[in-house]
């Protein structure tokens, strides 16, 4: 409530304003410390996060679908980027446990957003809540392009049947068939978009996720010409399908709080790996000279889908292949079991009740432990 103060990750007092602020703050404590900053050369030790690694960089996050389509025609025909048209939007799948895809996408995106902001990045969202409209596919692509983001990530979950489908499971990245008619979109997706998608795929595999075994997916990548977003977006885009909501195991992970957290950590790892080591990332000396991140106000962090930025595109300087940016799956599972009591008491919406001096101290210890495991500095 207004006037109440509680400590942040470092013990400094912060005002407690609402459930969302607490949820985002706790997510930043856990996720911000969990991200490994890839070494610029394999001989160098991995660095710990300082909060300024992504200063000056912009990430566009698109939580797929929307909370409500009231007043909008989902079947309205819009440009598909290839000379034809397609439906404006769809309602998304519903998991076997009855959780709508738009909510799964939203929860994961909020955790990713908190993590990226804790590293100094500016995050632009395609939609501002999980209750209203989020825009047609062409509008979201235009918003991503106008944000001048260093990378855009569209977060989705798949389905293959109305009921249960035990035979099909796994994650995949959708990449567009090339070439794309729009020259700027083609350059963005054939270059940085493809590279970032492969890095995201590698992050998923490193975290123990299994590539999809259906719909022509090849080692976690699916090439398609019927998805408008990549064909219309003029900044590098990663289109993530986190899992199959029709599969019992995939669905359970997509629905659960710890499963959403695991997806968020993996997506954040893929984004950070691309931004700091990809061929379009800034040279090391530019990163070192980046200004310190400033405190983000709620107004600044909740960008509208139509907002624009003046971020300067990064120089194309090749980087050395980073060391693995994800923890071993067994170690990760142990840490997730430690985090579960904090996150599963009442789910994401109950985190407010978990925030107190004692629990924040525990979160800090868990975050430190997770960082130690990822960097190889911790014990077995």
Q: What is the CATH number of the domain that holds 147?
A: 3.40.630.40
Task: Name the DSSP class of 309.
Answer: -
Distance CA(227)–CA(76), nearest Å, equals 16
Q: Which two tokens stand for residue 218?
A: 């090849």
Look at residue 290 and tell me if it is in a domain: yes
Range of weakest confidence among 21-30, 215-224, 346-355:
21-30
Look at residue 380 and tell me if it is in a domain: no
Residues comprising the chain, all counted: 380
> pLDDT at residue 296 above 70?
no
Look at residue 54 and tell me if it is in a domain: yes
Look at residue 260 and tell me if it is in a domain: yes
Split at pLDDT 50, 70, 90, the class of 51 is confident
**How far, in Å, are 35, 211, 230, 240, 306 from residue 177 at the CA level?**
32, 20, 9, 16, 27
> pLDDT at residue 80 above 80?
yes
Domain that holds residue 268: 5-375
| 101 classed as catalytic | no
Interval 10-25 mean pLDDT: 35
Describe the strand order of the beta sheet including 237-244 as a list of residue ranges: 122-125, 58-63, 151-158, 237-244, 172-176, 221-224
Look at residue 74 and tell me if it is in a domain: yes
Look at residue 332 and tell me if it is in a domain: yes
Distance CA(127)–CA(125), nearest Å, equals 5
Place of tokens 């990750």: 9
Which of the two residues, 338 and 134, has the higher pLDDT score?
Answer: 134
From 241, 299, 302, 352, the catalytic residue: 241
In this predicted structure, what is the pLDDT of residue 50? Answer: 74
Q: Which two tokens stand for residue 213?
A: 């075994």
Name the domain count of the chain: 1
Say if residues 35 and 115 touch (Cβ distance below 8 Å). yes
Which of the two residues, 339 and 213, has the higher pLDDT score?
Answer: 213
pLDDT tens readout for residues 243-255: 999 999 999 999 9
């Amino acid at each position: 409530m207004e006037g109440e103060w509680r400590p942040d990750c470092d013990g400094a007092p912060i005002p407690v304003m609402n459930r969302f602020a607490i949820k985002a703050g706790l997510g930043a404590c856990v996720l911000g410390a969990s991200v490994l900053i890839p070494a610029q050369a394999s001989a160098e030790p991995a660095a710990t996060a300082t909060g300024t690694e992504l200063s000056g960089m912009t990430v566009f996050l698109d939580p797929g679908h929307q909370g409500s389509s009231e007043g909008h025609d989902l079947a309205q025909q819009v440009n598909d980027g290839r000379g034809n048209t397609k439906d404006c939007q769809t309602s998304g799948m519903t998991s076997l446990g009855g959780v709508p895809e738009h909510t799964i996408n939203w929860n994961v995106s909020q955790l990713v957003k908190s993590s990226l902001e804790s590293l100094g990045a500016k995050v632009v969202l395609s939609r501002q809540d999980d209750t209203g409209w989020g825009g047609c596919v062409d509008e979201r692509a235009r918003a991503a392009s106008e944000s001048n983001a260093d990378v855009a990530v569209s977060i989705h979950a798949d389905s293959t049947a109305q009921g249960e489908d035990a035979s099909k499971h796994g994650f995949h990245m959708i990449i567009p068939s090339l070439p794309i008619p729009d020259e700027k979109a083609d350059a963005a997706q054939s270059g940085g978009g493809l590279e970032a998608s492969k890095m995201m795929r590698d992050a998923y595999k490193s975290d123990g996720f299994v590539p999809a075994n259906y719909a022509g997916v090849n080692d976690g990548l699916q090439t398609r010409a019927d998805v408008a977003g990549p064909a219309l977006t003029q900044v590098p885009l990663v289109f993530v399908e986190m899992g199959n909501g029709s599969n019992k195991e995939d669905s359970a992970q997509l629905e659960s709080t710890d499963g959403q957290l695991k997806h968020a950590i993996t997506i954040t790892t893929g984004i950070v790996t691309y931004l700091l080591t990809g061929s379009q990332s800034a040279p090391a000396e530019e990163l070192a000279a980046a200004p310190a991140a400033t405190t983000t106000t709620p107004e600044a962090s909740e960008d509208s889908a139509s907002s624009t930025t003046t971020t300067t595109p990064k120089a194309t300087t090749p980087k050395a292949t980073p060391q693995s940016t994800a923890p071993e799956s067994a170690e990760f599972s142990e840490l997730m079991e430690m985090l579960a009591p904090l996150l599963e008491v009442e789910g994401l919406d109950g985190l407010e009740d978990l925030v107190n001096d004692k629990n924040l101290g525990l979160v800090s210890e868990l975050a430190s432990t997770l960082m130690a495991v990822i960097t190889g500095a911790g014990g077995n």
